[in-house]
Amino acid sequence: MVLLEMQTVVRADEGLRMRYYQSIIDVENLGRGESYRRMKESYIIFICLADPFGDGKPVYSFVTREEDGDRILNDRIHKVIYNASDFAKAENPAVRSFLEFLKNRSASDAITRRIQTEVEVCKSHQKWRAEYMLWDDQVREWKEEAHEAGLSEGREEGRKEGIAEGEKRGKKENAIETARKLLKCNVSAGIISECTGLSPEELDSLKKQM
């Protein structure tokens, strides 16, 4: 199983975030009462535009290793962090090309050119633009309705709660619609979760509905 997340800023909690994602993978990977031997290899991959550790490596790979020795624990867990800012140091040509594309938006091989094409298609999709505008109008209406409901009650507290509820509902619906569109483009669940704030469970539910 693979979980992929894109990061545009350096974070200080990569290890904890990976631990959280690993727990989600384990719960989904193994049913109740099943043997642990059925657990599959898991890969948690973070793609960062900047170097999260400052060592100048294009790729940081982690496995569970013995604290006072070199023995590796066979837990089938792999964690990898790609650093796009040092793409030129990547030994693998495909990895180097991909990281360069992320950093400089420069497509230099068949894979990155295909990615660039798909990105442009998603950005220029007129139907999605129209749907986004409709949702934007709907959110505005919810805000106005909530505002009017609060004023009719004649209480400041009621007004604030009404507006907050309308905004919350609008943001949630907008996030769900955005996630649906990104799922159609085969964008990874990690990136969609980061962009929309939806949980992996909510994204799984959306996939089943599509």
Q: What angle do CA 58, 64, 65 make, to 5 degrees?
A: 100
What is the C-alpha to C-alpha distance for residues 90 and 99, in angstroms, rounded to an integer? 9
Answer yes or no: is 118 within a domain: no
Reported in sequence order, the residue ranges of 49-156 that DSSP labels E, i.e. its strands, are 59-62, 77-83
54 and 135 fall within a common domain? no
Would you state the pLDDT for residue 9? Answer: 72
Where a domain ends, among 109, 134, 150? Answer: 109
205 within 8 A of 19, measured Cβ to Cβ? no
105 and 183 fall within a common domain? no
Domain range enclosing 184: 125-209
40 within 8 A of 63, measured Cβ to Cβ? no
Render pLDDT for 144-179 as a digit per residue (tens, 0 to 9). Answer: 665 565 555 555 565 556 556 656 676 777 777 777
85 and 142 fall within a common domain? no
10 and 104 fall within a common domain? yes
Where a domain ends, among 109, 134, 154? Answer: 109
Would you state the pLDDT for residue 26? Answer: 81
Answer yes or no: is 166 within a domain: yes
| Long-range CB pairs of 24-27, under 8 A, 24+ apart, other chains included | 24/200, 25/1
Would you state the pLDDT for residue 61? Answer: 94
Where a domain ends, among 79, 109, 139? Answer: 109
Would you state the pLDDT for residue 11? Answer: 73
Write down the pTM of the prediction.
Answer: 0.55
How many domains, the chain? Answer: 2
Listed residue (114, 117, 122) closest to 94, CA to CA:
114
Per-residue pLDDT of the chain (210 residues; tens, 9 = 90+): 777 887 777 777 888 889 888 888 887 777 767 787 778 888 999 999 889 999 999 999 999 999 898 899 988 899 999 999 999 999 999 999 999 998 888 888 898 898 888 877 766 665 666 665 665 566 566 556 655 655 555 555 655 565 566 566 767 777 777 777 777 766 677 777 776 777 888 878 877 777
36 and 89 fall within a common domain? yes
Backbone angles phi, psi at 47, to 5 degrees: -115, 115
Q: Dihedral of CA 130/131/134/140: which sign?
A: negative
Answer yes or no: is 97 within a domain: yes
